[in-house]
Structures are given as C-alpha cells and as structure tokens.
Amino acid sequence: MRVFNFDHAIVRRPCRNVVDGLRSDATAEPDFEGIVREHDTYVAALEGAGLIVDVLPPLEAFPDSVFVEDPALVFPEGAILLRPGAPTRLGEREEMRAPLHQRFEQVLEIEGDDEYADGGDVLVMSDIVLIGLSKRTNRKGAQALCEKLARLGRKAKIVETPKAVLHFKTAVSLLDEETVLATRTMADSGIFAGYKTVLVPEGEEAAANALRVNRVVLLGAHFPRTMDRVVKEKYAVAAVDVSEIGKLDAGLSCMSLRW
C-alpha cells in the first residue's frame, strides 16, 4: 500500500497567538510574520506535489491549532478524532469535528477522559500503523486508537518513543515503503529493524520530520546535509523553510492532514 499517495489535504492558517504556542525552549521567540510566510510556502509545496488543499480559518483561542495533525487522523476509509495529550489543546478536536464530517462519511472518536493520543505520535507504514507512547500519547489512548484503526481496516502496533523525543515522528519519517529517515536515537531503538534507514547527520536531528507526498519528499530547507543524503538516495526533494515553525517544536508532517 503506497501510503504517501495523496490528492487532498487540510491545513489551518496560523493565528496571531501562534507565537505563544507550546515549546520546549522557552527562550525561542518565533516571529508571526515569518510563520505565516512559511505556512504559505508549505501550502504551495503541497499544491506543487499535486494536492488540493483546503485552508481552514485561524483559531485565536488555540495557539497550536495550526498543527492540525495532532487532534485528528485521516485515511481514505475515514477519519479519527484524537485527544491531544496537552490540556491546552483538547479543544482543538472539537474545532476539527465539522470539517471532518464534511469530508468523510465515517468519523470515529477517542472518547475516554483518560485516553490521550496525538497524531504526531502516529506513523502510517505500508503494512502497519505505529503508535509511539510519549508525554502526549498514553497507553490507554494508544489502545483506544488501535481499536479505531481496526474499524478502518488498519493494523496497529504500540511502540515506545525514545526518551527525550517529544513526538514519535519528531525522530522518524517515511521515505518509501521500505525506507525511513531517522535520527541515530530512533535507529538504535530497533523499532525499524528490517527497514532500510537513512540517518540524518548529527546536529540536524530535526530534519527527521520530513514528509513524503506522492513523488516528492518535503525537507526543511535549513538542513543541507540531510538534503544531500536524501538526494543521493535518488529521491526528489522539495526544500521548505520551517525555521520559525521549528521554534515551536514543529515540523512538516504536523501542519496538514492528507488523504
């Protein structure tokens, strides 16, 4: 199953309060205008890869709402409303309900008050969906997500996200059905034994959050050594500036829902 073949995507415009979003580095000072420019470039990259992109309006009440992949998952078979592990983000899922029902016949929901799962911890492979336990995804949430995925005909497996990694996909992304781009820490975890692994160079760990869309791999423009490695592996690459967005612990996968 070619899980990186898409023709539609949903994104949400950044709100003014995006600069107050969650981040591990309290000294980072993202620039709003810079984030808006990067988001526009990101949307253009998705369109350039062949996608029809629906742009939702900004939500001032939710600084992190530009990262639409955390409160929801989408597949051709249907969508799943998740429960983000950060308390300030729980309301975002309610804002995704109507857009998902407009586009999908089947929308499932994780409902338990003690069940938390973030889309940033979910990597869809060709034969299985990996769910990484983290500070944002607990075991009960992961188990509930496995049940919802089964209803959509998808097999799932719960794995341990390496310590000090915020989201599972912070440290790994899919290049093709048999190949991942990963940090050394993720590669050493053993989760991807049997897959070919392209390692990101030391100092460019954030580049592991790339995004394969149809024939193109979107990569952060400020990771030149990673870009060289991926190009040498014969992938088509599109460089996308995410330097400001990166100050919010974010990357390329979290800003869109794709199907």
Output the tens digit of pLDDT for each of the chain's 259 residues.
589 999 999 999 999 999 999 998 888 899 999 999 999 999 999 999 999 999 999 999 999 999 999 999 999 999 999 999 999 999 999 999 999 999 999 999 999 999 999 999 999 999 999 999 999 999 999 999 999 999 999 999 999 999 989 999 999 999 999 999 999 999 999 999 999 999 999 999 999 999 999 999 999 999 999 999 999 999 999 999 999 999 999 999 999 999 9
> What is the pTM for the complete model shown?
0.96
User: Do residues 116 and 132 touch, judged by C-beta distance below 8 A?
Assistant: no
Structural tokens at position 46: 């998705």
| Residue 53: strand pairing partners | 9
DSSP the chain: --TT--SEEEEEPPPGGGGGS--S-TT----HHHHHHHHHHHHHHHHHTT-EEEEEPP-TT-TTTT-TTSSEEEETTEEEE-B-SSGGGTTHHHHHHHHHHHH-S-EEE---TT--B-GGGEEE-SS-EEEEE-SS--HHHHHHHHHHHHHTT--EEEEEPPTT-SSGGGSEEEEETTEEEE-HHHHHTSTTTTSEEEEPPTT-GGGG--EEETTEEEEETT-HHHHHHHHHTT-EEEEE--TTGGGGT--SGGG-EE-
Q: Respond yes or no: is residue 146 known to be catalytic.
A: no
> Does the active-site annotation cover 167?
yes
* Size of the chain in residues: 259
Kindly list the structural domains of the chain, giving each domain's residue range(s) and its CATH number in brackets, ordered by start: 8-258 (3.75.10.10)
Q: Which of 15, 39, 167, 222 is catalytic?
A: 167
